[in-house]
Every structure is written in structure tokens, then in C-alpha cells.
Structure 1
């Protein structure tokens, strides 16, 4: 029988964390009782054995990449945005302020979130993440798709998201975000989009619909800060600065949504005919497109 260190009960609009250790339970946020997923950590945090597995209401393992729907209605707090085409589910991998490089394990069964490694040790960023960093489920940056703007194929992962809200999310937390724009990063010759988004329940979310709306808010420098962070984050390892399409300028919400839709179509092709792509990625079955 598999053993897990704690259980996180996740909801679209927030999370409750319940520890299995005596006297260690702590309340994160109250939301509705309609939990979508449960996340269970296996292995000690900060080690290469650490994995965060996802389960549905019936206790069945789920993939945070393939079984969580991409498109999300807005939260109950913002019903007027329920049909907004720029609202998507977000899977958080790295909490804001953390240095631990966590990522969805694309080649492992059910794609748990794992601790990344470098030279046989847990990989740590040289500086803390400025944002809640994760991805959009049911998207895939296809290495065979050469983007006309970046001139490079995708990085073989779900599309990345920099969630700029004020609240620190937990590893594995899933919630709706509003997309505001995107940076076209080119990492080691691969297209590696960085979607800029904000938690729909953030106090600023209702005022933000595109990147220019950030100008008169406390977040007016966040996009340039994120660009600079990703440009320089590998320099301490002796590598050159990262390249960006569009001379490093972030693109609009509409452009970002088009990119997301394209990666969703690529994901549909991947799960529809995995063998055709000659990939080692685990895609599972019974996905809902």
C-alpha cells in the first residue's frame, strides 16, 4: 500500500491542507465543499524522491496535465466572468518565493509533480521565484511545431504560466486564472512561452484584462521583472542570458489566448495518437477534451 505524508484537498477557488501527522494540520483557505482533486505527497519535500500525486473524488489517480480541463469558468466570486475566454485552469508547481524547482513529470505514470534535479541533486533556483509558477493543463508545446514568430519548436511540456497574484499558492494547487499576456522565451533553441496571468480571486483581477491595465497598479513592474528574472536565471550556472522573441516585449492577452489555443490543439493530437509523435510522454487514457 502506498504511503503519503499528507493530503491536500484542492478546490477550483482555493485549498484546504490537512496533515496526517498529529497536531500538524493547518487551515489554508475556506471555500465550497465541492473538492475537485486531492493531492498527496510521497517522499520527503526537498528530496529527489518527492512526488505530488493527484486523485479524484473516488480516490483514483489523476494526471494534473491530462485530466484537469484547460477551460475553466470563473469562480463563484466572479460569476460575470464565467464565459470569459481568457479564464483557464492553472496548476501551480512552484510557490512564489520558493527556490525549489518543481515540475510535472511528463514521462512518469499519472504525471506527478516532482523535484527537478541537476547533477544528481535537487535543483534550486539561484533566486526565489517572483511568481506562482506552473502550467496550463491539456496544453503541449510540440517540438515538431515551429512557431512562425519564435522560429523554434516547442519544449515538449505544457505551456508555462507566471501567476502574478498576491497570494502564495501551494504545490499542486489548482485554480482559475485570467490570462493577461505572454512572453516568448527561447530556451536552448526551444520555444518556451511564459503566459502572464492572475488568480481570478486576486483583489486586482477584476480591474485587469490586458497587460496595459497593470500600469496604474502595484504590479506595474511585474512583467519587466519576470522578463529580467528569466533572462538572467541561468547566468550563475555559466550559461548565457535567455533569448526572447519580439525583442523581449510581452504580447497581448489576445495573442496569448491564440497561443494557448494552439497548444491545446497540439495536446489533442498528442493524446489522440501518442505513437505518431515518437514520444516518451505519459498521456494516459479517458481524457476530457
Structure 2
């Protein structure tokens, strides 16, 4: 079990969300939460960054000590994704798999592009709207290979194992059969979500087709191996901050006292700014 500790003010650059484990210790959602909830059953831990139907672009801060969740900033402004008609905000619970890393120095032999320097992304398709910072256990159903400005950005499709319908979903074909149009909507969302910001549509490998569960799990294992090399200082870290409190043999391990000091440097949680007035507007654009 994990609980959140918020610092700063929501909708401002000061906001940070840290995680504590059941013992009350500060943990990095990037490095300290195990990838597998059950390796034998291929059940994974997922850190929820963005609850479904919300717009604030929250992400694990890979360049900060202990990697809190924060809101992305673009040109000095807090970043919110547009409601790209007919989609309201993010159309899944969106987050990341801990202890994974898409290596920006490695060219994927399947996509021909380097990694995006982040943990691998997850789209959780269950019925519950999760909360920011929640850690849930998911089973993987497939993956989509987004090519974002020349970088491979895998999108894992998964479902919470506690979802009332989880037993019905065991493959990407089950998603196609039981949630008709959802996979197509996901491709449409990822293709166009940056267009309102003036950027070109994103592209995809494999002719925009989803790969199956076994393929997705192999991608996850490869990114886990890349993370291991990173946190053990066997790969260049660049701007990535590998400070952690639980990876006992990592050279980046820090004490609980030092971890607490990192958090307590930040202002206590308080009332934040209001949402921009245009967050609930619809953006209408032509589908190519």
C-alpha cells in the first residue's frame, strides 16, 4: 500500500506529489516501487499520473530527486491537454510502469527510433476513475508504438486486476471485441493530442496496429533491463535523477533522513490556482 504526500499548490509550478510506502518511508515512483506485483502471473504495478477525463498533464519528474509527480510546463504555462472532440481529457487512467526506462541512446530494432527517456506509459482501460498517485495492479493486454518527434514512446494497454470485468479481458482482441471503437479512439487521441498546441500529428510504427500481450510484455522486460543498467550506473544517466530509498545495491541509494529532507524543503500543501477558463472547451479539428 502506498499513500500520497502533496506539497506546494495545485495548478502551479510548486506542486509536487510524493509517495510513501506502508512503513511511511518516502519512495520514488520511478525507482522504488517494484515493476511486478506478481511476476509469475505477469501482474504489474502501475503508478497513476493522470486520472481519466482530467486534463492536467501530470508526469513523474524524472530529473528531480525521488521523482515526485508534477505538472508539465510549456512556455512558462501549466500544461493541460485539449478536449479533442469527442474526447474529454485523457480517455483512460494514464500513468507509468515503475522500474522501466526507454533508453534514448538505444535504437529500437523494430521501430528504428530511440527511446523517449521516460518510464514506459500505460493506458488503464477499466471502469474506475483512479486518483493521482494511486498505485494499482494491472494485467497487460497489448501495446501501441507511438513515434513522438522521432522517439519510440510505447503505450501499454492494461486493465486493473480488481476491475469488475477484468476476467473478461485477457488480450488486445478482447478489448476490440468488448469495447468496440476504443482502440481506434486511442489511436485518434494519440495522433492528434498535440495538434491544438500547433504541432504536427504524431505517427505510429506497425501501421498504427496494436501488438499483442506477449509482444507488450517483452517490451516491458527490455525497458526494465534498461532501467536496471541506469540505476546501477551501467548506463549514462544524463539528466535522469536516480536517487532512491529501496534499491539496496544501487549507488544512488539515499537514507530515509536525506529523503525526508528533500520533501520538507518544499512548501506545505495549500490552495492552488484555479483551472484556466479554456480547459473545458472542445477543440474541433479535421481528422486526416
Please tell me whether residue 114 in structure 1 is matched to residue 74 in structure 2. no
TM-score by length of 1: 0.81
Q: 2:233 aligns with which of 265, 270, 273?
A: 273
Please tell me whether residue 238 in structure 1 is matched to residue 238 in structure 2. no
What's 1:100 paired with?
A: 56
SS of aligned partner of 1:215: helix
SS of aligned partner of 2:115: coil
SS of aligned partner of 2:105: coil
What's 1:249 paired with?
A: 209
Q: 1:152 aligns with which of 113, 120, 124?
A: 113
Quickly say closer, same or farther: Cα 1:284–1:135, change in 2 above 3 A: same
What's 1:19 paired with?
A: none
What's 2:19 paired with?
A: 54
Q: 1:282 aligns with which of 241, 266, 269?
A: 241
Task: Give matches, 1:168-187, under 5 Å.
Answer: 168-187=129-148
Q: Deviations over 1:66-94 (max 9, x none)?
A: 00000013xxxxxxxx8312x10000000
Task: Give matches, 1:1-289, under 5 Å.
Answer: 36-73=1-38, 83-85=40-42, 87-127=43-83, 128-217=89-178, 219-273=179-233, 276-285=235-244, 286-287=246-247
Q: Deviations over 1:186-205 (max 9, x none)?
A: 10111100000011111221
Note if contact 1:103-1:113 (Cα within 8 Å) is conserved in structure 2.
Answer: yes
Shift of 1:55: 1.6
Q: Distance in 2 between matches of 1:57 and 1:196?
A: 28
SS of aligned partner of 2:214: helix
Shift of 1:278: 4.5
SS of aligned partner of 2:241: coil
Shift of 1:258: 0.3
Of stretches 179-188 and 234-243 in structure 1, the one that deviates more from structure 2 is 234-243
Following TM superposition, the consecutive aligned residue runs of length 4 or more in structure 1 with deviations greater than 2 angstroms are: 56-60
TM-score by length of 2: 0.81
SS of aligned partner of 2:82: coil
Gaps of 5+ in 2: 84-88, 250-288
Quickly say closer, same or farther: Cα 1:288–1:95, change in 2 above 3 A: farther
Shift of 1:59: 2.9
Note if contact 1:67-1:288 (Cα within 8 Å) is conserved in structure 2.
Answer: no
Shift of 1:288: 6.3
Q: Distance in 2 between matches of 1:215 and 1:175?
A: 23
Note if contact 1:164-1:222 (Cα within 8 Å) is conserved in structure 2.
Answer: no
> Number of residues paired by the alignment?
243
Q: Greater RCO between the two (CA within 8 Å, min separation 6)?
A: 2
Gaps of 5+ in 1: 1-35, 74-81
